[in-house]
């Protein structure tokens, strides 16, 4: 895997936009972000190619590898499943952030500064955390001083199974099964 140290303070003093996958993205003109530093979550590539892409669960990557690998983004993934991910991965710009599997711990590890600690909700086996837990500390590590959250609605579970008008088909809680139940690359375009 690639050496992550080159990202330390790479954007010192700049701002970035962390892009979640919430419904509010449907009401934003994402082209306004084309000259900004952006950190996207999971399958955001369905609607936008961020500067960086964070994936907080190897299950998502494995299930949607083809679609995720089509993005032009530099990828960061929190996982303990490095061996299988690196053997499957054809993308050169992927960085693995090793995660701990103790639930509810304060985690210091991988590329984080010794002084940077944050709470994770990693469960046994899968990481099981929210991807924002990777995006925000990553932005801090890169020297970002202003972080704006867009599409961080935390509504995925709330709207699961509904067909909310205006949603992006294939990911944002349309009538397809919840992401864990989808077949590999199910619904990707």
Global confidence as pTM: 0.71
- Residue 189: inside a domain: no
Cβ atoms of residues 21 and 44 within 8 Å: yes
Residue 20, φ and ψ in degrees, nearest 5: -80, -165
Q: In what order do the strands lie in the sheet with 52-55?
A: 94-97, 74-78, 52-55, 37-41, 15-19, 146-150
35: Cβ–Cβ under 8 A, 6 or more apart, which residues?
A: none
- Residue 134: inside a domain: yes
- Residue 9: inside a domain: no
Calpha distance 51→57 (Å, rounded): 19
Supply the pLDDT for residue 103: 42
pLDDT of 31 above 70: yes
Domain that holds residue 83: 14-178
Calpha distance 168→44 (Å, rounded): 10
| Mean pLDDT, rounded, for 92-100 | 67
pLDDT of 67 above 70: yes
- Residue 130: inside a domain: yes
- Residue 151: inside a domain: yes
pLDDT of 23 above 70: yes
Q: Indicate the pairing of strand 37-41 with strand 52-55.
A: parallel
Question: How does pLDDT run across 110-127, given as a tens digit for each residue?
Answer: 444 444 444 444 444 444
- Residue 63: inside a domain: yes
Domain count, the chain: 1
pLDDT band at 141 (very low <50, low <70, confident <90, very high): confident
Cβ atoms of residues 5 and 113 within 8 Å: no
21-43 b/e (C-beta count within 10 Å ≥ 16 → b): bbbebeeeebeebeeebbbbbbb
- Residue 187: inside a domain: no
- Residue 29: inside a domain: yes
What is the DSSP code string of the chain? ---GGGGTTTTTT-EEEEE--SGGGGGS-GGGGTTSEEEEETTGGGT---SEEEE--HHHHHHTHHHHHTS-SEEEEE-S-HHHHHHH---SSEEEE----STT-EE--TT--TT--EE----SSS--S-THHHHHHHHHHTT--EEEEES----TTTTTT---TTPPTTTSSSSSPPGGGSPTTTT--
């Amino acid at each position: 895997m690639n050496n992550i140290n080159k990202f330390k303070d790479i954007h010192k003093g700049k701002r970035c936009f962390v892009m979640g996958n919430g419904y509010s993205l449907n009401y934003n003109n994402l082209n306004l972000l084309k000259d900004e530093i952006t950190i996207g979550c999971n399958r955001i590539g369905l609607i936008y190619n961020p500067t960086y892409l964070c994936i907080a669960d190897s299950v998502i990557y494995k299930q949607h590898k083809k679609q995720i690998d089509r993005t032009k983004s530099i990828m960061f993934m929190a996982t303990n499943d490095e061996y299988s991910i690196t053997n499957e991965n054809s993308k050169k710009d992927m960085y693995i952030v090793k995660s701990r599997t103790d639930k509810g711990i304060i985690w210091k590890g991988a590329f984080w500064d010794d002084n940077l600690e944050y709470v994770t909700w990693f469960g046994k086996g899968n990481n099981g955390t929210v991807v924002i837990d990777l995006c925000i500390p990553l932005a801090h590590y890169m020297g970002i001083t202003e972080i704006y959250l867009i599409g961080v609605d935390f509504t995925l579970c709330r709207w699961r199974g509904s067909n909310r008008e205006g949603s992006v088909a294939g990911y944002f809680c349309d009538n397809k099964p919840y992401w864990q139940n989808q077949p590999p690359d199910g619904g990707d375009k």
